[in-house]
Amino acid sequence: MNTLHTVNKSPFERNSLSSCLRLAAAESSILLFEDGIYAALQGTDFSETIQTALAKHSVYVLLPDLQARGMSLEQVIVGVQAVDYAGFVDLTSTHYPIQAWL
């Protein structure tokens, strides 16, 4: 199975997302949650980074964390899939291992 990488920090605050993308094997998936959701939004300096990443990875964003931060699904980059906590759990069943980028 492919790895599920989890990124919980904003790309503007930490290099966690960029390091994750540099070291994520092709076909692995990425879940953006907590402050990591900011990377999932259109119109930021990181949007292109995610768009490029979508060619190699499935990218997910945790909806509760988007909503908590006042962002909506409409603002999410096309191709990034929103999941709730149940969806997060489901992702862990289809990926192995789970790798956290803090």
Binding site for other proteins (CB under 8 A): 2-3, 6, 8-9, 15-16, 19, 22-25, 28, 33-35, 64, 84-86, 88-90, 92-93, 96-102
Q: Tell me the residue type at 73.
A: L
> Would strands 4-7 and 29-32 be described as parallel, antiparallel, or unpaired?
parallel
Q: In the complex, what is the shortest distance from the CB of residue 102 to other proteins, in angstroms, rounded to a whole number?
A: 5
Q: How many Å apart are CA 50 and CA 75, to the nearest integer?
A: 14
Adjacent-strand bridge partners of 33: none
Q: In the complex, what is the shortest distance from the CB of residue 15 to other proteins, in angstroms, rounded to a whole number?
A: 6
Taking the least distance from each CB to other proteins, the nearer of 9 and 80 is 9
